[in-house]
């Protein structure tokens, strides 16, 4: 939708800034869009063109078809399907019917989808995405899968064709997952996937997806460190930001193994939210194994391990090019003082919390 310039003879100073879509758009990124849209038609058009608003489809809203026929198509850039505000009640069949109305109105503009699903409705979504003409410009998909609602009919032999523009996926599984095949088929269709966030116990086969630059995993229960290590091995050459952790502090992996960090030539930021569950040896962060590493955050690090690193010469065990170090909880003063000396290139961003 083209933006209509307001009629205004003022062409200098701040007045000109709010008449140019490019400049006004940058200004509006700092303002609440709901209020901004009420200023004038021009501001409303610019706000909608940014795609920061999210349209929630509610099952209880029976007038959605009428609303959809009259709405500005740009409202459909980012849509959410869960039935009630403040919660993640799974999308129902009526939600998918409402989604079909939205497709007819603005399918080419839909870039983001946030959907809460049951195992059954996940199957219905996969069937919908099986046709590459549906949501052809989808870039980001966020799925929350729970055990509420209808029972699953199981897994079908779906062949979801490649979705070249789907570059970011977030999956939150809240149950013992029985839909690995459906999720795996969906993941395999994103050939250009760059960002993957997983929360729960589902760990996919990443043999077909090796170009991730961002990977985040928060384990829920009964996850496998062996499978997690296998994922890291497949994305080791491309990953730039890696974050691992667990949802509850008492969660443990179920296979008794240790996390194996491969050589990651392009990794720049590593965050370990629980060093008890994901123990890492300091040698993993050496310049030989992680030459581009610049930011390191460790929660619950074992102080004995830090002391061993210092005594053995930290510059040989950890990349001295790291400029940002964050350790939680606090460590003792003497360990912190010695540890700082191992980072000659650190800047004021280097942060070591001490007791």
pLDDT in tens, 85-117: 555 678 777 888 888 888 888 888 899 999 988
Cα–Cα distance for residue pair 272/265, rounded to 1 Å = 18
Domain-located, residue 166: yes
33 vs 326, higher pLDDT = 326
Average pLDDT of the chain is 76
Phi, psi dihedral angles at 131 (to 5 degrees): -85, 115
Question: Whose CA is closest to 191, among 173, 212, 215?
Answer: 212
Domain-located, residue 20: yes
Shared domain for 124 and 42, answered yes or no, is no
Domain-located, residue 285: no
Shared domain for 78 and 169, answered yes or no, is yes
Question: Comparing 103-112, 132-141, 180-189, 246-255, which segment has the lowest mean pLDDT?
Answer: 246-255
How buried is residue 98: exposed, middle or buried, by Cβ count under 10 Å (0-12/13-18/19+)?
A: buried
End position of a domain, from candidates 164, 190, 216: 190
Size (the chain), residues: 355
Q: Is residue 324 a contact partner of residue 295, using CB atoms and an 8 Å limit?
A: yes
The pairing of beta strand 78-81 with beta strand 55-57 = parallel
> Residue 171 belongs to what H/E stretch?
strand 168-173
How buried is residue 111: exposed, middle or buried, by Cβ count under 10 Å (0-12/13-18/19+)?
A: middle
Shared domain for 64 and 160, answered yes or no, is yes
Which of 19-28, 29-38, 68-77, 193-202 has the largest mean confidence? 193-202
Predicted TM-score (pTM) of this structure: 0.80
Q: Is residue 203 a contact partner of residue 224, using CB atoms and an 8 Å limit?
A: yes
Shared domain for 21 and 107, answered yes or no, is no
Shared domain for 180 and 166, answered yes or no, is yes
Shared domain for 13 and 139, answered yes or no, is no
pLDDT band for position 1 (50/70/90)? very low
Domain-located, residue 338: no
Cα–Cα distance for residue pair 191/186, rounded to 1 Å = 10
Quick one: pLDDT at residue 56? 73
Cα–Cα distance for residue pair 205/74, rounded to 1 Å = 36
Domain-located, residue 173: yes
Which of 24-33, 97-106, 299-308 has the largest mean confidence? 97-106
pLDDT band for position 307 (50/70/90)? low
Question: How many domains does one find in the chain?
Answer: 2
Cα–Cα distance for residue pair 55/67, rounded to 1 Å = 12
Cα–Cα distance for residue pair 286/344, rounded to 1 Å = 14
Shared domain for 91 and 171, answered yes or no, is yes
Q: Is residue 286 a contact partner of residue 320, using CB atoms and an 8 Å limit?
A: no
Q: CA triplet 123, 129, 132: central angle to 5 degrees?
A: 155
Domain-located, residue 25: yes
Domain-located, residue 146: yes
For residue 72, pLDDT beyond 50 = yes
End position of a domain, from candidates 140, 167, 190: 190
Shared domain for 20 and 110, answered yes or no, is no
For residue 355, pLDDT beyond 70 = no
SS3 state of residue 232: helix
> What CA–CA distances, in Å, run from 338 to 194, 306, 314, 329, 352?
38, 10, 9, 17, 11
Q: Is residue 210 a contact partner of residue 238, using CB atoms and an 8 Å limit?
A: yes
Shared domain for 12 and 83, answered yes or no, is no
Cα–Cα distance for residue pair 101/264, rounded to 1 Å = 46
Q: Name beta bridge partners: 143.
A: 115, 171
Shared domain for 47 and 91, answered yes or no, is no
CB within 8 Å of 7: residues ≥ 6 apart: none
Shared domain for 111 and 170, answered yes or no, is yes
Domain-located, residue 249: no
Tokens of 273: 């939210």
Q: Which domain holds residue 76?
A: 54-190
End position of a domain, from candidates 190, 221, 245: 190
Cα–Cα distance for residue pair 298/129, rounded to 1 Å = 39
Shared domain for 21 and 46, answered yes or no, is yes
Cα–Cα distance for residue pair 106/79, rounded to 1 Å = 11
């Amino acid at each position: 939708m083209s933006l209509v310039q307001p009629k205004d003879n003022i062409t200098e100073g701040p007045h000109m800034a709010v008449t140019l879509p490019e400049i006004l758009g940058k200004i509006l990124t700092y303002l609440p869009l709901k209020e901004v849209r009420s200023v004038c038609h021009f501001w409303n058009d610019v706000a909608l063109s940014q795609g920061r608003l999210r349209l929630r489809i509610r099952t209880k809203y029976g007038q959605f078809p009428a609303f959809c026929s009259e709405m500005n198509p740009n409202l459909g850039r980012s849509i959410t399907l869960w039935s009630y505000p403040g919660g993640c009640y799974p999308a129902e069949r009526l939600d998918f019917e409402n989604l079909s109305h939205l497709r007819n109105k603005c399918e080419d503009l839909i870039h983001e989808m946030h959907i809460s699903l049951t195992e059954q409705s996940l199957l219905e979504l996969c069937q919908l995405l099986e046709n590459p003409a549906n949501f052809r410009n989808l870039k980001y998909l966020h799925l929350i899968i729970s055990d509420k609602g209808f029972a699953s009919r199981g897994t079908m032999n779906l062949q979801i064709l490649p979705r070249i523009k789907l570059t970011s996926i977030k999956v939150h599984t809240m149950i013992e997952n029985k839909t690995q095949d459906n999720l795996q088929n969906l993941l395999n269709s994103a050939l250009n996937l760059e960002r993957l966030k997983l929360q729960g116990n589902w760990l996919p086969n990443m043999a077909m997806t090796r170009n991730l630059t961002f990977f985040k995993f928060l384990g829920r229960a009964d996850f496998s460190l062996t499978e997690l290590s296998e994922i890291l091995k497949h994305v080791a050459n491309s990953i730039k930001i890696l974050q691992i952790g667990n949802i509850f502090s008492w969660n443990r992996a179920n296979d008794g193994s240790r996390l194996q960090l491969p050589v990651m030539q392009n990794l720049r930021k590593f965050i370990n939210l629980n060093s008890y569950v994901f123990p890492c040896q300091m040698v993993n962060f050496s310049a030989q194994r992680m030459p581009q590493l610049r930011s390191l955050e460790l929660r619950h690090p074992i102080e004995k391990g830090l002391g061993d690193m210092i005594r053995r010469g930290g510059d040989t065990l950890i990349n001295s090019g790291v400029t940002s170090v964050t350790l939680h909880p606090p460590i003792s003063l003497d360990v912190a003082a010695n540890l700082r000396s191992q980072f000659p290139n650190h800047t004021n961003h280097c942060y070591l919390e001490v007791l």
